[in-house]
Structure 1
Amino acid sequence: MSYRRDSTLWKPYDRFEKLIGQEKAEEFWTEKQISEKLSKKSKLAVQFVSHCETHSLREQFIKKLDKYINITTFGDCGNKTTDMKEQDILDQYYFYFAFENAVCKDYITEKFWRLKHLIVPVVLKRSILKGIIEDEYFIAADDFSTPEALANKLSEISENITEYKK
């Protein structure tokens, strides 16, 4: 049993499931709830990091990206500490860096699933999620030619609520 889809038993951290029409209304966000959540967002990007040196070299990418946008980092490798609940922190930000420790076939970090709290995840490589998660649910850093191009896109989206909702 593992995160690999070719294992005998596939056990990802989480997943999306197709709606079958029997779900309860409280299982979905209303337009009003979405607007309320979005009204709390004022900061661009956040990450929670406990492994400071990784095989994926995410720390090097973040260092380059941080030259163009402000990224708040919590955790053992971060510059911020807080007594706030994680959800209260996430509510303030538009984007969450869900960069993996290592880039492995089919591995989707548990951090990705914070998107269920109405924050857009940014992942390192689109190819990791191919066939598992639809493209419109995240932003992939490798879609951009430079960290600066990614930074510009994140800033642009955060300033256009209609685009952000997409």
Structure 2
Amino acid sequence: MPRASLLTRPPWGRPGVKAVVTAGLFVTFLWNLRCFLNPGKFSREAPKHTEPLVVLVWEWPSRQAPNVSGDVCRELYGIAGCWLTTEQRLLGRADVVVFPHTRLQPGRDRLPKEKLPGQHWVWVSLESPSNTKALERWNQTFNWVMTYRRDLDIFIPYGKLVSNQSATVNIPEKTNLVSWVISNYHRAQKRAEVYKNLSRYLHVNIYGKANKKPLCKDCLLPTTSKSKFYLAFENSIHKDYITEKLWRNSLMAGTVPVVLGPPRANYEQFIPADSFIHVDDFGSLAELATFLKTMNSSRYQQFFAWQKRYSVKLYTDWRERICTICMAYPSLPHGHVYPNLERWFNT
């Protein structure tokens, strides 16, 4: 056959091409049919669940695990379609498996031998990067991260402000200026340095194990509420790392927090700008001390204006935290895995 006729001939009419095209179309048809019948397996979107989502907590974050097998998310928090369990024998039925970092320290030998198809593993931690060790061994292991960071998969803060239009301001009676509850005092920490220098200019009432003045379980809030100001100093400074020192020890107690942690702008993403004092607001600790000691009653009351609009919600029950996985599940990136968990968490 002349060469010109080959060039002008339709490609599907050439020898051998027709068979290849036909086979390709058939493969494409089979793939589209497979995706249609099982869309969740071939998509980064969450598969639609007709049965309750089974969330297995491999080991409970705290030492004493409650009996959580059942529909506790609906019973306690009104979250339907979420079955929570700690029974490891149900691994084969679990859609999500939760691994608290505090329980991972012994090593991989305590994890399941393999991740089942379609199953997602969640790494959980409320500690800052400074206090989270041995992350390098968990590369290419977890699909999702659950911690205090807002830019992650599942956000679990220590606390938050919730709308409450009570229009009531409650300021407990004050008997001293500044207090601080500290259990683990390390001189190398920035908060220890700031406290040492600040105490040169004013007296700080210290409680907790570090000062050999431990408080009973129900004594914390009544004690800190007697102070005008509370040193809500974090043990390390990281983005979004704002703990119960702010939410419980200070705001819930009815005292004004003097914070040491991430920048002011980061705090203002959680609480109103006029509800706290940041150490960085002042050129020196001497200026901070003078500001605290000379504040008049009218200025002090302004720090509690947030109470007219909000109240504090604490997250203390791990069952509530784990149940949030079910609410987040449809929007989570399915098929994703963290290649370098340590590098990401330290960013």
Structure-1-length-normalised TM-score? 0.81
Letter in 1 for 2:190: L
Shift of the 94–120 alpha-carbon distance from structure 1 to 2, 3 Å rule, reads same
Aligned to 1:99: 233
Q: CA deviation at 1:117?
A: 2.1
Aligned to 1:133: 271
Q: CA deviation at 1:53?
A: 1.3
Structure 2 residue 194 is matched with structure 1 residue 58? no
- Percent identity of the aligned residues? 33
Structure 2 residue 281 is matched with structure 1 residue 143? yes
- 1:117 pairs with one of 243, 250, 253: 253
Shift of the 106–81 alpha-carbon distance from structure 1 to 2, 3 Å rule, reads closer
Shift of the 128–76 alpha-carbon distance from structure 1 to 2, 3 Å rule, reads farther
Moved more, 44-53 or 10-19: 10-19
Preserved contact between residue 73 and residue 79 of structure 1 (Cα < 8 Å): no
- 1:164 pairs with one of 276, 293, 300: 300
Provide the rounded CA distance (Å) in 1 between the counterparts of 2:179 and 2:167: 23
- 2:220 pairs with one of 78, 82, 86: 86
Aligned Cα root-mean-square deviation (Å): 2.2
Structure-2-length-normalised TM-score? 0.41
Unpaired segments ≥5 residues, structure 2: 1-145, 303-347
- 1:12 pairs with one of 157, 175, 185: 157
SS in 2 for 1:89: helix
Letter in 2 for 1:146: S
Provide the rounded CA distance (Å) in 1 between the counterparts of 2:188 and 2:270: 22
Moved more, 78-87 or 42-51: 78-87
Letter in 1 for 2:259: V
Provide the rounded CA distance (Å) in 1 between the counterparts of 2:270 and 2:219: 29
Aligned residues between the structures: 152
Provide the rounded CA distance (Å) in 2 between the counterparts of 1:96 and 1:90: 7
Provide the rounded CA distance (Å) in 2 between the counterparts of 1:155 and 1:29: 28
Q: CA deviation at 1:29?
A: 7.2
Moved more, 114-123 or 59-68: 114-123
Preserved contact between residue 231 and residue 257 of structure 2 (Cα < 8 Å): yes
Aligned to 1:155: 293
Preserved contact between residue 233 and residue 258 of structure 2 (Cα < 8 Å): yes
Shift of the 62–29 alpha-carbon distance from structure 1 to 2, 3 Å rule, reads farther
Deviations along 1:32-65, one digit per CA (max 9) or x if unpaired, are x53xx2xx20211001111211764101110000
Preserved contact between residue 54 and residue 101 of structure 1 (Cα < 8 Å): no
Preserved contact between residue 46 and residue 97 of structure 1 (Cα < 8 Å): yes
Preserved contact between residue 49 and residue 73 of structure 1 (Cα < 8 Å): yes
Provide the rounded CA distance (Å) in 2 between the counterparts of 1:82 and 1:111: 15
Unpaired segments ≥5 residues, structure 1: 22-27
Larger radius of gyration between Structure 1 and Structure 2:
2
SS in 2 for 1:164: helix
Provide the rounded CA distance (Å) in 1 between the counterparts of 2:292 and 2:243: 21
